[in-house]
Amino acid sequence: MDEKIFPRNLTARAAMSVVGNPVSSRLESGVGVCYPGLEFDHRNLDRRFFPGLVFTFVSQDEADFPSDQLRGAELVSTDLCDPELPEVSDVSGSLHVQLAKDLREALTGEVGDLLNEGSFFLESLKQGKTRISMRGQEGTPLDGTVVWRLVRSLRPEPLEIVLKWRKKNKESSRPRSKQIVRLKGWRRSFVDPDTGVIKDVFRAGELTQSMCSPWQHDFRDCGCHYWASNHPDIVLLENPPGEELLPDKNPANPELANTPVDWLRSDRSQFASVAASGVRSKNRPYQMDFYEINERWQDFSFVLEGREISRPYTRADDLSKNPFNSPQTLAERLFKLAELEHVLILEYLYAYFSIKRPDEIDSGKYPALRDDAVFAAHELLIVAVSEMRHLRWVNQLLWEMWHAGIIPQLGPSLGVAGWVPTADKKLRKRELRILDPETLQSFIAVEQPSGTLDGQYARVIATFRLKKGEYPMADQWAQMAERIIADGVQHFSRFREIKSVLDDYIDPNAPVGTSPPYLRNLELADPASARAKQALGLYRELIKDLKAGYENGDLEDAKYVVNARKAMTDLKDLGEKLGLEEYGIPLFDGLPEPKE
């Protein structure tokens, strides 16, 4: 292709940069992705594809709307100020003179009144002899994204559209007259054919109104559900004055500590705020609108560490200012921390097997117990799996420090600690227990932020950060330890959520020794019994494979980790079968008695 391409917009033809129009403002400089685009959202151009009408392309999860009947292109409003539908009779400047006259007459008359009576959606498009329905073969409306792509493919030529009323909610009333409207017009061109400038029908801010542009007022309705850190979606409420706090400055009350609220809520009072819904449309009526945001932007709270804050910020106790004095000392502590992660895995798994499954629960007395038991078991298993990752990460730190030549080979560390930290920073003996209130409280204690376990990892991070010269991969290793701490905070929150749910089923007047209704009365199975021997065999095979996989940290050894995962799945299945018989796997069998 030899023909030279000439730019048609005036700013591009200027010999110098035009004041107020940087290069980045030219259309040809835009990154042409279409959902939603970087400089502007291309869908906002097509909202005005038909002169005099403004649409929105509805493409949401069904949970946001009563039915899929509300998907497609919904008519938002008529626009009688559209420059392509002038009030004067002389429209000779239009490419479609007669169509413009007829269309304006229709929209200013009975048809326009009808379109303002209810919710009308685009039903079909017709150009030339081709008609495109906005419904699928089964008769249900097409998704808004599909409709948009069909609209975008239209030629800038005469166009006939059909609009049809749809019931939007229980209060929707049928239009007083017909429910179907036919209009003839044309598919709008978005730029002037001579200058290349975007047409005046698009108002300031309209092309970016669905984008993440927090420097404008577009804090709302982002089409791609992405926000930078300066616009949180869901946050935790600020701690009320006088509230009992934990060492990490979070509320001791688990409901206050873990209940998320909508950052955009209009009612900003502390005690009127309710938990945010998981469905966007349910939160929307209680959020500030565009104009209100412009008026009340100063009411939005700063958010630190996921929680709103209005008072001077006070950091939690800093446990990271006591680095280990040598790589060898650090490695020895990591070795012990891996053993602690291992014992927590085993305690959590045993407690997991003690929770009844739904088909074991009589929901007559407690209608919500089945769902709550499923929730507790699911959350506990997530924490146990997360601790398995920690065991792997600690061993990775050990082998990477060894490969770097700063310590001799210490790992892999796959032993089981004999003692576990408690809330008062003392130690308790390891123990396999059902998830009764006392056991759950001990799990909360060991995972408490700024506690013993958390504090040890804080020292690990401090060592890598403050003694970078001694550790060739200090930043990477510090990040790994930081991930363990971040997970630990999540574990603490999950355990407190479990406690908040299960507390409803604790009867303080129950006879001593009575288990809550969500628990199996597990007893340790005899290690010599057939199923216990099978389970212990799987566990020991698992540890053997992990040892081989963690020995050198080489990719060639990854097959052993895969084998260990398979053994873990089989062990879980066998633990479930034993649990149904009210027996638990004696996972500490064969381990030496913890030393005092």
pLDDT, one tens digit for every residue, the chain (596 residues): 456 655 555 655 555 556 666 656 555 565 555 555 566 778 889 999 999 999 999 876 543 444 567 889 999 999 999 999 887 555 455 567 888 989 999 999 888 888 887 789 999 999 999 999 999 888 889 999 899 999 999 999 999 999 999 887 665 666 656 789 999 999 999 887 777 778 888 887 788 777 765 555 455 666 555 555 466 778 888 877 767 666 556 676 766 667 788 888 888 876 666 778 767 677 888 888 777 877 888 888 888 877 888 777 665 545 456 889 999 999 999 999 999 999 999 999 999 999 999 999 887 888 899 999 999 999 999 999 999 999 999 999 999 999 999 999 988 999 999 999 886 678 899 999 999 999 999 998 888 776 566 677 888 988 998 898 899 999 999 999 988 888 887 888 889 889 989 988 988 888 877 889 999 989 999 999 999 999 999 999 999 999 998 888 876 778 888 899 999 999 999 999 999 999 999 999 988 888 76
Q: Which domain range does residue 280 map to?
A: 234-309
What is the Cα–Cα distance from 214 to 222, expressed in whole angstroms?
10
Helix H, strand E, coil C: the string for 27-92 is HHHCCCCCCCCCCCCCHHHHCCCCCCEEEEEECCCHHHCCCHHHCEEEEEEECCCCCCCCCCCCCC
What are the angstrom distances between the C-alpha of 349 and each of 427, 431, 436?
20, 12, 14
CATH code for position 487 = 1.20.1260.10
Among 520, 535, 554, which residue terminates a domain? 520
Q: Same domain for 173 and 102?
A: yes
Q: What are the backbone angles phi and psi of residue 40, rounded to the nearest 5°? A: -155, 165
Q: Same domain for 491 and 534?
A: no
Phi-psi region of 541 (alpha: psi -120 to 50; beta: other; left: phi over 0): alpha
Among 520, 549, 579, which residue terminates a domain? 520
Domain total in the chain: 4
* Cis, bond preceding 156 (omega within 30 deg of 0): no
Question: What is the pLDDT at residue 220?
Answer: 65
Question: What is the pLDDT at residue 1?
Answer: 45
Q: Same domain for 507 and 538?
A: no
What is the Cα–Cα distance from 139 to 142, expressed in whole angstroms?
9
Among 491, 520, 549, which residue terminates a domain? 520
Q: What are the backbone angles phi and psi of residue 164, rounded to the nearest 5°? A: -135, 135
Question: What is the pLDDT at residue 103?
Answer: 92
CB contact burial 329-360 (16+ within 10 A = b; e otherwise): ebbbbbbebbbbbbbbbbbbbbbbbbbbeeee
What are the angstrom distances between the C-alpha of 56 and each of 71, 145, 148, 444?
10, 10, 9, 49
Question: What is the pLDDT at residue 463?
Answer: 92
Packing angle, helices 369-403 and 530-550, rounded to 10: 40
Which CB contacts under 8 angstroms, 24+ apart, belong to 124-133? 124/161, 124/162, 125/150, 125/151, 125/154, 125/159, 125/160, 125/161, 126/159, 126/160, 126/161, 126/162, 127/154, 127/155, 127/157, 127/158, 127/159, 127/160, 127/187, 128/157
Q: Same domain for 530 and 516?
A: no
Q: Same domain for 573 and 511?
A: no
Q: Same domain for 295 and 158?
A: no
Q: Which tokens is 99 given?
A: 């169509």
Q: Looking at this protein, which amino acid is placed at residue 354?
A: S
**DSSP-based three-state secondary structure for 584:** strand
- Is residue 457 assigned to a domain? yes
Q: Give the DSSP H or E segment for 443.
A: helix 437-447
Question: What is the pLDDT at residue 159?
Answer: 95
What is the Cα–Cα distance from 399 to 331, expressed in whole angstroms?
10
The DSSP symbol for 420 reads E
